[in-house]
Chain A
């Protein structure tokens, strides 16, 4: 499996990662190497195997439907770069 530079750029965009144009080829090579490794698994017959959703052989525990959290807005918003009227402010996302 060989990734193109276009695919590398697309993956970077989807992950919102900025990468230097000069590094794209190296990323393509390294990522392709990882995919080749994973591709070896494709050679195995897995039709009869149930996909493993989690490495722990346990099932999800459920919690009762009870409100346990208190308002900690002041504490959390102390970390935020900008807040107003209780809202977190972010750069405008629509035109």
Chain B
């Protein structure tokens, strides 16, 4: 039978505020345990939560970026459950009236644009962290994270493959970073994902029973967990079994999903409006202010790159996949004054490769746009060839010298003096009479041999176009 996969994602983005959503405790990552958990975060009796203005603005900003309705009136609710990292016995969240309503996000996959619906996005507080090892049979609880603002972004069940799910998640990741509302650091848990997955016979209207995979914190895990879970469900159904609605956990070391707990009990959260918090009213004035702060969004930037720099879809998409990368590229074009194509080739080629190899982000690049511009200028004015430029680039990567300094120190300046090149060519021809005879006799492949000999004799510094032209003349 043909099966169709149906996926919806719930993404938790930690908002990049300085203080917590309902208290004045710091949200900085990496502090000693419980040094950033104040009386409000601990759920001490008699405390009152007070909402962080910045968290509200960030939620509104996100809503505007996905063209969603911003609720003029939204309400916080208590989601009740017991766990040691949730000191109050409830999480303050939003239920019936979330701050962000229906919106959408367009993803690009295999050259096609697909629109994914966003059902809602709501504000809530994060829980603390439980550490289950090394405490002689007890669990250690660190509540520094408790009360960190989260935006939970819930998609429609619009995705039909793990690849689409990853494309959506990446797009959202880029967007929250463009908006500067979330640092997107997945290792630190700032951006994490729960996936709802079901399968149904192709052509069937109603959805199959779904399972939810919790806490996927990398793009690769999302893809692998979904692929595994889809296969598990199909195998189960094809062998006559049924899928049980439940929460599952992805185990990356074994590459499998495991049942976590029955969902029916977990689902009984008994939401009710939190009497400690008043309804949140978003005035038009605030929306106008936030709108004015919106940066150029990824899709708009991609289209601009296509028209302004004559880029194809793939190049423009790759360069605008993060705001920092796009900024780097544009600064490089400005600084170097070089052709945009030369700039994009170097950014997407040598630079991306070197960053990847050292597992660095563009923001940590040892070669800033000014230094790379210095190198590209020397390619553009024919001081060095593209091949020598790669050598210079490697030198630059290791230290902080400019391209010009390296070219001078190593004597890499291209030989453009045709007299000098001619001399070397004559020498090469004189040294290889056998090959010359064969070449003239019709073995044209040998042309490459002569070019190689000349380049070798000049240590790659001869202008390749010039060498080709002169060799052709000499070997007639």
Contacts and interface: CB of A to CB of B under 8 A. Distances in A.
Contacts of B37: 73, 76
Contacts of B50: 61-63
B25 A69 contact: yes
Interface in B39-63: 39, 42, 44, 50-56
Interface stretch (B268-276, B322-330, B334-342, B361-369): B268-276
A91 B138 contact: yes
A84 B131 CA distance: 12
Contact of B279 (A59, A66, A71, A72): A59
A88 B278 contact: no
A82 interface: yes
B84 A90 contact: yes
A87 B131 contact: yes
Most buried by A among B17, B19, B23: B19
Contact of A92 (B56, B132, B277): B132
Contacts of B139: 89-94
Contacts of A91: 138-139
A81 to B, nearest CB: 11
Contacts of A92: 132, 137-139
B25 A85 contact: no
Contacts of B268: 14
A56 B276 CA distance: 11
Contacts of A66: 18-19, 24
A36 B110 CA distance: 59
B34 A86 contact: yes
Nearest to A10: B268
Contact of B19 (A14, A51, A68, A84): A68
A53 to B, nearest CB: 4
Interface string B61-103: 0000000000000010000101110000000000011000000
A73 B24 contact: no
Contacts of B35: 71, 73, 86
Contact of A87 (B141, B275, B279, B280): B141
A54 B280 CA distance: 11
Contact of B51 (A53, A63, A77, A88): A63
B24 A94 contact: no
Contacts of B278: 53-54, 56, 58-61
Given A54-B273, A85-B140, A69 B38 contact: yes
Given A54-B278, A62-B51, A92-B139, A87 B34 contact: yes
Contacts of A90: 84, 138-139, 141
Interface of B: 17-19, 23-26, 32-39, 42, 44, 50-56, 75, 80, 82-84, 96-97, 130-132, 135, 137-143, 268, 270, 273, 275, 277-281
Interface of A: 14, 16, 51, 53-54, 56, 58-69, 71-73, 76-77, 82, 84-94
20 contacts: A51-B96, A53-B75, A53-B278, A60-B277, A64-B54, A65-B52, A65-B53, A66-B19, A66-B24, A67-B19, A68-B24, A69-B19, A69-B25, A71-B36, A76-B42, A89-B135, A89-B139, A90-B141, A91-B138, A92-B137
